[in-house]
Structure 1
Amino acid sequence: MAFTQIFAHRGSAGTHPENTMSSFKEAEKAGADGIELDVQLSKDGEVVVIHDETLDRTTNGKGFVKDFTLEELKKLDASYKFNTFFKKPRIPSFREVCEWLKTNELLCNVELKNGVFPYPQLEEKVIALVREFGLENRIIISSFNHYSIVYCFQLAPEIEIAPLYSEGLFMPWIYAQSIRGKAIHPNQRAAPDEIVVSSMENGIAVRPYTVNKKEDMIRLFNIGCSAIITDYPKKALELRKQTNE
């Protein structure tokens, strides 16, 4: 049976404040194969790691990410719904995450959050950091904005791209090949067994999101799905071990 990789969605988002260093470090500690994170631009053009376009849900700030400088964003408490008894987690810059990735072997799926606001130069800035830290072979760039990932491929054909999508797509492996993607990242509801298997048979990896339920994990492990993206990497690793025994 093929080995299914486990990507920690926004880090170990089920147990730690999402998209923070504590969440990413927990994923590493659990033994995940990779992490998934989201990037946007601050007011002063820095690449920052946060999912929503607004600060309201995951921090004690209010307003749009794009209206605050990196320094201002760094002052916010990003502990989200988790009570942290120690140091309050902060919004990391993508540079910080790249520095940390140099200390381990984790893969990293970078989702460009440029569907609502078309952040100028987001693609160039992400690629420049990936190249600066020599992470080209460990990064996958994904987005629901497929124009953006095609542009990334044109800028940096050595970095893998993968389209994100949430509805059923006809023969998605053909679409992925047409935009030079090596993988697809479908919502798990748009990833029935036959689509997963056919995609992999046609040389396209499949990494469904967000796979949190035990029965969904087991189904995907049993068909040897390329990877799953989950909020609970520790739980997924335990289940993968049991399924592969």
Structure 2
Amino acid sequence: MMLWKYEPGRRARPLVIGHRGAPLRHTENTIISYKTALELGADAIEVDVQLTADGHIVCCHDPDLERITGTRITIAENTLADCRSAFPDLATLEQVCAAFPKAGILIDTKIDTDDFADELRRVCASTQAFGRIMVGAPSPTQAQRLRRRLDLPFCALFKAPVELSLYSELSLSWMRLHPKEYRLETVQTLHAAGIGAILLANADMARGGGTYPQLGRDRIGRGNWMRRLPCR
């Protein structure tokens, strides 16, 4: 699958990534939220993940379920069954990969343990998802730890140009940029290092859209406002 292959100089339309699915319509990071994002035209979905006490990778942004359910259950300290007793719609990454066999999946994780890497490799193998998954890492250290265990494309959160050499050494394919980093020179610096740019667009940029051509962007991660514009 060519979705996560960075090709310098390519001027195709930006790909659309459904951030946590389509959370204006459904609870974030659930099967129905991802399904809706893809039905709206997203090319890929962004999936936040946590690891349960019994080793399942589940789709949830927060380390506990309090914001979603009102019940403070820490995911890492409870089994999948215990977590689902509070939130029945809690999906595993394996379920998501199996449910959407053609969709690109950008995993956002803060976990870099061996247990997580081993389970992610098992999920990729069991669902034949190796060509569809990219791992988002927040730091060079975490990316380095995971890269030792996983043969997957990686992206990272852009923080400062001084980190570019570290990311280049790790052969990272992409960097994610927050709106405050939306500068043409920033994207040009990334491209010069052979790294593609994923822009985390906000609602105002999505409505206006006029700044995108000047940014030289490759991917657009669209968030909670996915329903507001057609994605194609």
CA distance in 1: counterparts of 2:162 and 2:211, whole angstroms: 21
Once the two structures are TM-superposed, the CA of residue 234 in structure 1 deviates from its matched residue by: 4.0
Q: How does 1:1-245 map to 2 (within 5 A)?
A: 1-77=11-87, 90-102=89-101, 105-114=102-111, 119=113, 121-157=115-151, 159-165=152-158, 167=159, 169-170=160-161, 173-213=164-204, 214=206, 217-231=209-223, 232-238=225-231, 241=232
Once the two structures are TM-superposed, the CA of residue 216 in structure 1 deviates from its matched residue by: 6.8
Once the two structures are TM-superposed, the CA of residue 198 in structure 1 deviates from its matched residue by: 3.3
CA distance in 2: counterparts of 1:56 and 1:5, whole angstroms: 32
Q: 1:63 to 1:74 in 2, by over 3 A?
A: closer
TM-score (norm. length: structure 2)? 0.84
Once the two structures are TM-superposed, the CA of residue 133 in structure 1 deviates from its matched residue by: 1.7
1:86 counterpart residue number: none
1:84 counterpart residue number: none
State the SS of the aligned residue for 2:86.
coil
Once the two structures are TM-superposed, the CA of residue 224 in structure 1 deviates from its matched residue by: 4.0
TM-score (norm. length: structure 1)? 0.80
Once the two structures are TM-superposed, the CA of residue 226 in structure 1 deviates from its matched residue by: 0.9
CA offsets per residue over residues 129-174 of structure 1, 9 Å max, x none?
A: 11222211211101214323222222233x1011124x4x116654
Q: 1:119 to 1:27 in 2, by over 3 A?
A: same
| Sequence identity (%) | 20
Give the alignment's Cα RMSD to 1 decimal: 2.3
CA distance in 2: counterparts of 1:175 and 1:194, whole angstroms: 19
CA contact under 8 A between 2:105 and 2:134: conserved in structure 1? yes
Q: 1:172 to 1:101 in 2, by over 3 A?
A: farther
CA distance in 1: counterparts of 2:107 and 2:44, whole angstroms: 11
CA contact under 8 A between 2:168 and 2:193: conserved in structure 1? no
State the SS of the aligned residue for 1:58.
helix
CA distance in 2: counterparts of 1:172 and 1:184, whole angstroms: 11
CA offsets per residue over residues 18-60 of structure 1, 9 Å max, x none?
A: 1111110001100101000111111211111100112111224
What amino acid does structure 1 have at the position aligned with 2:18? A
CA contact under 8 A between 1:49 and 1:93: conserved in structure 2? yes
Once the two structures are TM-superposed, the CA of residue 73 in structure 1 deviates from its matched residue by: 1.4
CA contact under 8 A between 1:48 and 1:94: conserved in structure 2? yes
CA distance in 2: counterparts of 1:24 and 1:172, whole angstroms: 32
